[in-house]
Amino acid sequence: MARAAVGRPSAAAPFPASALARRPSRVRRFWRNPFAVVSAGYVIVMIGATAAAPLVTPYAPDRIVLGQDLRPPSAQHWLGTDQNGRDEFARLLYGARISLAIGIVAVLVSVTLGTLIGAAAGAFGGLVDALPMRLTDAMLAIPLFFLLLAALAALGSTVLNIVLVIGLSSWMTTARVVRSEVLRAVNLEYVTAARALGAGSRRVIARHLLPQAFPSMLVASTLGVGQAILAESALSYLGVGVQPPTASWGNMLSHAQNYVFASPLLALWPGIAILLTVLAFNFIGDAVRDTLSPYQA
Amino acid sequence: MQRYIVSRLGHSVILLVFVSMLTFVLIHAAPGGPAILLAPEMTGQQIQQAEKSLGLDEPLPVQYVRWLGNVARGHLGESFGAGLPVTQLIADRLPATLELVGTGLVLSVAAGVAIGIVSAVHRYSIVDHLSTGIAFFGMSVPVFWFGLMLIIVFSTTLHILPSAGAYTLGAATSVGDRLAHLALPAIVLAMANLAQITRYTRSSMLEVLNADFLRTARAKGVSGRAVVYHHALRNALIPIVTVIALAIPRLVGGVAITESVFTWPGMGQLAVDSALQRDYPMIMGITLMVSIVVVATNFLTDLSYLLLDPRVELG
């Protein structure tokens, strides 16, 4: 109860009761956004189909059939076959597992790291604030993508490395946002009150400061999934993404490029899959932002 | 004012040193080494000799200080791969990249600001929804796939625009030819930034349109058009400076892939190759140059705020 009441003291809600009463309308606000609803439906269906991939398609994603290469779409092969005679639809489904996993886990890494750094910087101040924030500035000034390439070339392009490298290079925005939210809350009365009651700094951060930053973290995470999927596809294009024969949307796209004249459709499918998925996460993130902070433009 | 500028300059230089240190540690810390030391036919002794001649056998701090000293004297070292000075390799490729990034920047800022203003003024109109759609598309499309699709449509199907290079090889250079080659890559590069610029302009314009002084202006009888273009736009344009500053690092990030899709003879390929081959001096040189551009842009942005907006005070 008490926690819900202090959910957003800065918003125009003088009484705890009105803050509580606004809760359901926030959810309704989200569901009233048609793009967000369609996107959420799409993501749910896609995750379901991907998880149940063997039930959705009879083909194995890496079964090579000689003499069946680069076939156009047909009743047997809904989206045709690739350069090795593998079913394109099956590869797209199984590739979604890798691409989504990379997107989601990379975001978990980056949001966790960003939150830790941002919360510590905002709550403690002094050197704990100055050093990480200078690091953030520096990281934002480096052409990171280029260093990702160097790192992956050195470490080898395993899925784990790709996730770590993307996650470790994208925490800066979260750190900045969380820090500013924490800074805004750190001197409010209820935080001082909690301190006066003897709450330790860990408890103050976890129970009183971080809930303030939660909406921003949620927005950053949703948008981040899309960005991480795009990053994987870009790394694949340059040859340091997920390595074959494992299918990922990025490496399907980058291989299809070689057959763009013989079979242009092959480059179309994974591109559309990436586009729709990233689009869906962006729409959801945007709607979440509108829902949680309606007073921001 | 003067003191502010000097102190900001000092901060920028410290930040750059920090960036270079970070890059230096990151590229050296990873396992493996420069590709030239991994040639299978080299014996252990030859590798040791090569390491010694490149100065890689010394402790990292020593290597870094030496690099920094050389930079202070204007030397970025020699590329491991090509054996040529890094400054020369960069200078050879830089003009093409600047041409592409510059065009992409102008294109995205011009289109983004125009679309943003129209969407704010005609909020929730078809134009507004359409521009939101374009913005989301730009944010969500994989850069190289978009490039590939444009090549398929405009080059291989319609045959109206070339798909590769900066000019037709062996033909006399003409402005038209260069512009035709520039069109597709510049559009691809601009698309990735259009979203941010459009949305930022739209929201900053909306904020101003709802401001009290505009209501006063309307109440005094200023016409709708004059309110928008005379009163609102001026104030909305200030935050747009920030957008341009934000766009530059993104453009630099996107340019490597765009150049590679359109085989543009710029720095992108050089950067990618040097990263993959772990050509330390080349990586350091390129990173340093890009960070200087980014840090300088941030500096100039803050400065322009001071000049453009009398409400901003020195903090």
Q: How far apart are CA B81 and CA B274, in angstroms?
A: 8
Query: What is the SS3 assignment for A163-191?
Result: HHHHHHCCCHHHHHHHHHHHHHHCCCHHH
Considering CB atoms only, which of A237, A274, A282 is closest to B139? A282
Smallest CA–CA distance, residue A280 to chain B, in Å, is 9
Q: How far apart are CA B100 and CA B109, in angstroms?
A: 14
Q: 């939150």: which residue's tokens?
A: A115
Q: Taking CA atoms, what residue in A is nearest to B286?
A: A143
Considering CB atoms only, which of B140, B148, B290 is closest to A226? B140
- Produce one character per residue of B73-102: b if its CB has 16 or more CB atoms within 10 Å, e if not: eeebbbbbbeeebbeebbeebeebbebbbe
Ranges of H-type helices in chain B:
2-29, 44-54, 60-72, 86-121, 126-140, 143-150, 175-209, 212-219, 224-226, 233-261, 267-277, 280-308
Tell which residue, A236, A214, A128, A113, has the closest CA to residue A169: A113
Sequence letter at residue A269: W
Q: How far apart are CA A66 and CA A63, in angstroms?
A: 10
Q: Does A269 touch chain B (CB under 8 A)?
A: no
Considering CB atoms only, which of B203, B206, B256 is closest to A145? B256
Ranges of H-type helices in B153-221:
175-209, 212-219
Q: Decide if B251 contacts B186 (C-beta within 8 A).
A: no
Smallest CA–CA distance, residue B276 to chain A, in Å, is 5
Q: What number of C-beta contacts closer than 8 Å exist between A and B?
A: 141
Q: What is the dihedral of CA A161, A281, A273, B196, to 10 degrees?
A: -90
Non-local (6+) Cβ contacts of A121 within 8 A are A128, A129, A132, A133, A175, A179, A182
**Most A-contacting residue of B12, B134, B144, B258 (CB-CB within 10 A), to test interface:** B144
Sequence letter at residue B280: Y
Residues of B within 8 A of A141 (CB-CB) are 15-16, 19, 249, 291, 294-295, 298
Q: Does A45 touch chain B (CB under 8 A)?
A: no
Q: How far apart are CA A251 and CA A242, in angstroms?
A: 7
pLDDT of the residue at B124 = 84
Flag if B32 and A267 touch (Cβ within 8 Å): no
Low-confidence ranges of chain B (pLDDT < 50): none
The dihedrals phi and psi of B313, each to the nearest 5 degrees, come to -115, 160
Tell which residue, A178, A282, A267, has the closest CA to residue A230: A282
pLDDT of the residue at A106 = 94
Q: How far apart are CA B131 and CA A157, in angstroms?
A: 38
Burial of A115 (0-12, 13-18, 19+ CB in 10 A): buried
pLDDT of the residue at B291 = 86
Q: Distance between alpha carbon A255 and the CA centroid of its chain, in Å?
A: 25
Smallest CA–CA distance, residue B16 to chain A, in Å, is 8
Q: Compute the C-alpha angle A273/B140/A80, nearest 5°.
A: 20
Smallest CA–CA distance, residue A3 to chain B, in Å, is 32
pLDDT of the residue at B40 = 65
Q: How far apart are CA B199 and CA B193, in angstroms?
A: 10
Q: Decide if A248 contacts A99 (C-beta within 8 A).
A: yes
- β-bridge mates for residue A81, sequence order: A87
Q: How far apart are CA A229 and CA A46, in angstroms?
A: 15
Instruction: Tell whether pTM > 0.95.
Output: no
Residues of B within 8 A of A264 (CB-CB) are 152
Look up residue A88 and give its DSSP letter: H
Considering CB atoms only, which of A250, A261, A275 is closest to B140? A275
Q: Decide if A165 contacts A104 (C-beta within 8 A).
A: no
Within 13 Å, how many C-alpha atoms sit on residue A153's CB side?
22
Residues of B within 8 A of A274 (CB-CB) are 142, 145
Q: How far apart are CA B134 and CA B191, in angstroms?
A: 9
The mean pLDDT value of chain B amounts to: 82
Q: How far apart are CA A115 and CA A217, in angstroms?
A: 8
Look up residue A73 and give its DSSP letter: P
Each residue's pLDDT expressed in tens, for chain A with a length of 297 residues: 334 444 444 444 444 444 444 555 667 777 777 888 899 999 999 888 888 878 777 777 777 777 667 677 777 777 777 777 778 888 888 888 888 999 999 999 999 999 999 988 888 888 888 888 888 888 877 777 777 887 887 778 888 989 998 998 889 888 988 888 888 888 888 888 888 888 888 888 888 888 888 888 888 888 899 999 999 888 888 888 888 788 888 888 888 878 877 777 888 888 899 999 999 999 998 888 877 764 443
Smallest CA–CA distance, residue A188 to chain B, in Å, is 23
Look up residue A58 and give its DSSP letter: S
pLDDT of the residue at A7 = 40
What is the interface pTM, i.e. ipTM, of the complex? 0.81
Q: Decide if B80 contacts B277 (C-beta within 8 A).
A: yes
Helix/strand/coil for A87? strand
- β-bridge mates for residue B85, sequence order: B78
